[in-house]
A and B are shown apart, each in its own frame.
Chain A
Amino acid sequence: MTSEIISQLEKMVMDFDIDNAEEIAIKAIDSGVDPLNAASALTNAIRKIGDMFGAGELFLPDLVCASEVLKKSFPIIEAEIKKRGKEKKSLAKVVIGTVYGDIHSIGKGMVSTLLYAEGFEVIDLGVNVESSKFLEAIKMEKPNILAMSALLTTTANEQKKVIEGLVVEDIRDKVKIIVGGAPVNQEFADSIGADGYGANAPEAVKIVKHLLKIN
Chain B
Amino acid sequence: MQKGFKRKFEPIKILNDSQVEQIHTASLALLEETGFRFENEKGLRLLSENGCIVDYETKIAKIPGFLVEECIRRTPSSFILRARDPEKSMMFGGNTFYFMNSCGARYADVETGTVTMPTMKQNNDAIIVSDALDTVNFFCSYCPYFEIYEVPPVMSCPVSCAQRHRFSSKPSRGAQATDTFIWETQIAQACNAQLLGCVEGAAPLALSEDAINAAFCYLKAGFPIYIASGSVMGGSHPVTIAGALVSHNAEMLAILVLLQCIKPGCGIIANNFVNAMNMQTGDLNFGAASIALHQMAYNQMWQGSYKIPVNNSGSAFSNSKKIDYQTAAEKLPLALTSVLSGTNLLTFHGGITAELAYNPILAVIDDDVANTIGRIIEGFDINDDTLGLDVIKKVGSTGTFLSTIQTKDFWRSENFTTTVFDKTSYNEWISTGKKTIVEKAREKMETILAEHEPEPLTENQDKEIDKILKEAEEYYKNKNLL
Contact = CB atoms under 8 A, between A and B. Distances in A.
B282 A154 contact: no
Contacts of A103: 202
Nearest to A61: B279
Contact of A60 (B115, B279, B354, B356): B279
A182 interface: yes
B282 A106 contact: yes
B147 A153 contact: yes
A153 B153 CA distance: 9
A56 B356 contact: no
Contacts of A53: 280
A184 to B, nearest CB: 11
A157 B281 contact: no
A56 to B, nearest CB: 7
A200 interface: yes
Contacts of B146: 153-154
Nearest to A54: B280
A103 B282 CA distance: 14
Interface in B78-100: none
B228 interface: no
Nearest to A200: B281
Contacts of B177: 154
A47 B39 CA distance: 40
Given A182-B356, A183-B105, A183-B356, A107 B282 contact: yes
A106 B105 contact: no
Interface centre among A154, A157, A200 (most CB of B within 10 A): A154
A60 B277 contact: yes
Given A182-B356, A183-B105, A183-B356, A59 B153 contact: no
B333 interface: no
Interface in A67-121: 103, 106-107, 110
B283 interface: yes
Interface string B148-161: 00000100000000
Interface string B206-248: 0000000000000000000000000000110001000000000
Contact of B279 (A59, A154, A157, A185): A59
Contact of A157 (B153, B277, B280): B153
A60 B235 CA distance: 11
A61 B239 CA distance: 10
Contacts of B277: 60
B280 A106 contact: no
A182 B234 contact: no
Contacts of B147: 153
Interface in A153-193: 153-154, 157, 182-183, 185
A201 B114 CA distance: 22
Contact of B234 (A61, A157, A185, A200): A61
Nearest to B277: A60
Nearest to A53: B280
Interface residues of B, number: 19
Contacts of A154: 146, 153, 177
A106 B235 contact: yes
Contacts of A107: 282
Contacts of A185: 115
A157 B282 CA distance: 21
B352 to A, nearest CB: 14
Interface string B277-294: 111111100000000000
B443 to A, nearest CB: 31
Nearest to A106: B282
Contacts of A182: 283, 354, 356
Interface string A134-164: 0000000000000000000110010000000
Interface string A37-81: 000000000000000010010011100000000000000000000
Interface in B323-375: 354, 356
B282 A110 contact: yes
A166 to B, nearest CB: 20
A107 B146 CA distance: 22
Contacts of B282: 60, 106-107, 110
Interface in B147-185: 147, 153, 177
A162 to B, nearest CB: 16
Contacts of A106: 235, 282
Nearest to B239: A61
A60 to B, nearest CB: 4
A60 B105 contact: no
Contacts of B153: 154, 157
Nearest to A59: B279
B280 A56 contact: yes
B105 A153 contact: yes
Contacts of A110: 282
Contacts of B115: 185
Contacts of B279: 59-61
A110 B280 CA distance: 11
A191 to B, nearest CB: 11
A102 to B, nearest CB: 11
A103 B201 CA distance: 13
A60 B282 CA distance: 7
A53 B279 CA distance: 10
A41 B115 CA distance: 44
Nearest to B235: A106
Interface string B106-121: 0000000001000000
A185 B113 CA distance: 14
A51 to B, nearest CB: 14
Contacts of A183: 105, 356
16 contacts: A53-B280, A59-B280, A60-B278, A60-B280, A60-B281, A60-B282, A107-B282, A110-B282, A153-B105, A153-B146, A153-B147, A154-B177, A182-B354, A182-B356, A183-B105, A185-B115
The 6 A-B residue pairs with the shortest CB-CB distance, nearest first, are A59-B279, A106-B282, A60-B279, A153-B105, A153-B146, A60-B282
Given A61-B239, A103-B202, 13 more contacts: A53-B280, A56-B280, A59-B280, A60-B277, A60-B282, A106-B282, A110-B282, A153-B146, A153-B147, A154-B146, A154-B177, A157-B153, A182-B354
Interface of A: 53, 56, 59-61, 103, 106-107, 110, 153-154, 157, 182-183, 185, 200
